[in-house]
């Protein structure tokens, strides 16, 4: 699924109107009817009071379409118009007249108006005030209304986007945004749903198909959501006459005194991801530990007992993952620099490998093409510099990726993969992954996929998806708090198996209940 900008969505509207020979009013009708269908299917006529707050633009026009259909089906509807400007769109005015024909006159809210005080926690609030066209600060009337509604515990449903949010930037004042429980977005989710500063304004979201021109939508360039339909075609079937050499040899480099566990996690994850063979290069202190605790792993060590003082791997490898638990001691920094100077193999760089890079940015131009860097936010800032908001962070990440021809896996609650101007947003995972060693496991999974022959971009998207899916599956057994990094590896087979799992069909009794 693509994530399009507001400008692209407006172009999609025009293409739809032209190619399908409909009017803008018809498009608003489709949108409002889809929201009505969504609500009606869930409410089945329940007499909960529904308070619809309409703006005076096309989003308000959609809200009025919704109100009309709800009224025609006997729902208890209170209708309000937020009169924040003298300008009205034609879509608003015509739908306003249609509602009045049902003998309901919406309450006009002006600067001097008192806001409704009869909204209870059992009611529903529908936010149809602003849509994706918002591009300036909101008025005192709107800001005060938002504060009033945010204080009410009623379920809040936003039309297309929570009012006060922009589709392409962070609002100057986050207090001037409506916080909602659910957003029904038209045709495409909005980028603000996925960035930490703005994602907090909607707990959940869903996309409704309003029939925008399919050719335009297919051709449009935008960020991509990565879910099972996107990763399943990436999956590489195992060959009948394959052997361990068929699926590559990964080398994981890292570890230091007290942090050998990180390289163990990464190495085991690489093997469980399907890699044929895995080796590790660690300081001498990790040799016996790894040999005794992980019999499938082959181990090399540097001459220093506590630190990697030299990085000179021996053997044939397909890919190298480096940095987990490595430390940034001066001796290790020099060894890392020397390694980067001479290495030609595909690289996955994480943790202290990224920190070593940020200490000597001249090394960035010496990385193999499409090297994979997996920073969390602090590591990313050391690489690309600071930013003022998440949208600027994403732009700087794209510029950095383009400049150095590398792939950035931006680890966060929602992990985003960036390659040049392309953006891929993962849909799996939850807060159970907020645990020590989670990033080490991800490094191992991506390294293992690369060794098996996945192209770098697919390895990142597929690896991040599988990594997150383990937490979605394991959560049922462990809960959020007790899920640890080793569990990611333990549930990795289940994440693979889930790729081919068919949705459960309802029983006849369940179908009848629906």
Residue with tokens 């209870």: 120
Compute the half-sphere exposure of residue 245: CA atoms within 13 Å on the CB side of its CA. 2
Q: Is 457 annotated as a binding-site member?
A: no
Cβ neighbours of residue 60 closer than 8 Å, sequence gap 6 or more? 54, 81, 82, 89, 92, 128, 129
**Rg, the chain, Cα only:** 27
Phi, psi of 423 (to 5 degrees): -130, 130
Measure the CA–CA gap between 137 and 258, rounded to whole angstroms.
Answer: 52
On whether 236 is known to bind a ligand per the annotation, the reply is no
Residue 160, marked binder: yes
CA-to-CA distance for 143 and 17, rounded, in angstroms? Answer: 34
**306 vs 146, 294, 309, 508, CA distance in Å?**
57, 20, 9, 64
Question: Was 315 annotated as part of a binding site?
Answer: no
Residue 131 marked ligand-binding: yes
Residue 58, annotated ligand binder?
Answer: yes
**Residue 353 assigned as binding residue:** no
Between CA 302 and CA 94 the distance in angstroms is 76
What is the DSSP code string of 381-392?
A: HHHH---SSHHH
329 is in an annotated binding site: no
User: Is 440 assigned a ligand-binding role in the annotation?
Assistant: yes
Does residue 455 have a known ligand-binding role?
Answer: no
Which residue in 319, 370, 326 sits closest to 351, CA to CA? 326
* Helix and strand element counts for the chain (H, E): 19, 18
Give the single-character DSSP code of 123: S
Q: How many CA atoms lie within 13 A of 434 on its CB side?
A: 8
- Give me the phi and psi of 53, to 5 degrees please: -105, 110
**CA neighbor of 458 nearest in space, from 370, 369, 353:** 370
**Beta-carbon contacts of residue 433 (< 8 Å; ≥ 6 apart):** 467, 468, 471, 483, 488
Which DSSP category does 344 fall into?
A: -
Q: Is 376 annotated as a binding residue?
A: yes
- 218 annotated binding-site participant: no
Q: Judge whether 73 is annotated as a binding position.
A: no
Q: Whole-angstrom Cα distance, residue 467 to residue 461?
A: 10
C-alpha 8/C-alpha 305 separation (Å) is 57
Q: Is 325 annotated as a binding residue?
A: yes
Q: How far is CA 267 from the centre of its chain?
A: 26
Has 477 been labeled as part of a binding site?
no
- Is 385 known as a binding-site position? no
**108, β-bridge pairs:** 81
Residue 43 near residue 124, CB atoms below 8 Å: no
Q: Rounded to a whole number, what is the largest CA-CA distance in the chain?
A: 86
Q: How many CA atoms are closer than 13 Å to the CA of 38, on its beta-carbon side? A: 22
431 is in an annotated binding site: no
| Binding site residue list for (6S)-NADPHX | 58-62, 131-137, 160, 325, 376, 440
| Binding site residue list | 58-62, 127, 131-137, 160, 163, 325, 376, 411-415, 439-440
| Binding site residue list for AMP | 411-415, 439
| Binding site residue list for K(+) | 59, 127, 163
């Amino acid at each position: 699924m693509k994530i399009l900008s507001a400008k692209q969505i407006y172009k999609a509207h025009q293409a739809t109107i032209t190619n399908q020979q409909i009017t803008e009013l018809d498009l608003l009708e489709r949108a409002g009817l889809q929201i009505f269908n969504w609500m009606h299917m869930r409410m089945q006529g329940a007499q909960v009071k529904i308070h619809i707050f309409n703006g005076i633009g096309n989003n308000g026009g959609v809200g009025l379409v919704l109100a009309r259909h709800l009224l025609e089906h006997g729902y208890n509807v209170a209708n309000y118009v937020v009169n924040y400007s003298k300008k009205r769109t034609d879509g608003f005015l015509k739908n306003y007249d249609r509602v009045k024909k049902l003998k309901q006159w919406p309450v006009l809210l002006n600067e001097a108006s008192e806001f409704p005080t009869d909204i209870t926690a059992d009611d529903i609030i529908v936010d149809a005030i602003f849509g994706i066209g918002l591009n300036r600060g909101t008025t005192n009337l709107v800001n005060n209304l938002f504060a009033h509604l945010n204080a009410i515990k009623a379920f809040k449903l936003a039309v297309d986007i929570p009012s006060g949010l922009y589709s392409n930037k962070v609002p100057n004042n986050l207090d001037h945004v409506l916080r909602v429980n659910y957003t029904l977005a038209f045709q495409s989710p909005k980028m603000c749903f996925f960035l930490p500063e703005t994602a907090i304004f909607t707990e959940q979201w869903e996309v409704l198909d309003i029939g925008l021109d399919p050719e335009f939508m297919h051709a449009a360039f935008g960020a991509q959501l990565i879910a099972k339909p996107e990763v399943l075609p990436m999956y590489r079937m195992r060959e009948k006459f394959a052997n361990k050499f068929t699926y590559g040899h990964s080398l994981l480099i890292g570890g230091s005194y007290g942090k050998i566990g990180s390289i163990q996690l990464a190495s085991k994850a690489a093997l469980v991801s399907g890699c044929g063979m895995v080796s590790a290069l660690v300081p001498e202190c990790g040799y016996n530990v790894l040999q005794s605790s992980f019999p499938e792993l082959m181990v090399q060590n540097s001459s220093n007992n506590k630190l990697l003082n030299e990085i000179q791997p021996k053997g044939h490898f397909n890919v190298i993952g480096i940095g987990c638990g490595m430390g940034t001691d001066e001796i290790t920094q020099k060894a890392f620099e020397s390694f980067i100077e001479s290495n030609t193999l595909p690289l996955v760089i994480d943790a202290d490998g990224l920190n070593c890079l940020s200490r000597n940015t001249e090394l960035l131009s010496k990385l193999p093409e499409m090297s994979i860097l997996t920073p969390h936010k602090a590591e990313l800032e050391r690489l690309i510099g600071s930013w003022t908001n998440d949208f600027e962070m994403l732009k700087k990440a794209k510029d950095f990726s383009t400049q150095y021809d590398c792939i950035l896996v931006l680890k966060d609650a929602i992990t985003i993969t960036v390659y040049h101007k392309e953006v891929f947003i993962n849909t799996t995972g939850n807060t159970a992954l907020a645990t020590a060693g989670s990033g080490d496991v991800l490094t191992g999974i991506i390294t293992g996929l690369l060794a098996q022959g996945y192209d770098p971009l697919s390895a990142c998207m597929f690896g991040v998806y599988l990594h997150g899916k383990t937490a979605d599956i394991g959560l049922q057994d462990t809960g959020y708090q007790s899920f640890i990094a080793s569990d990611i590896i333990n549930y990795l087979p289940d994440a693979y198996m889930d790729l081919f799992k068919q949705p459960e069909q309802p029983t006849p009794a369940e179908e009848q209940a629906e």
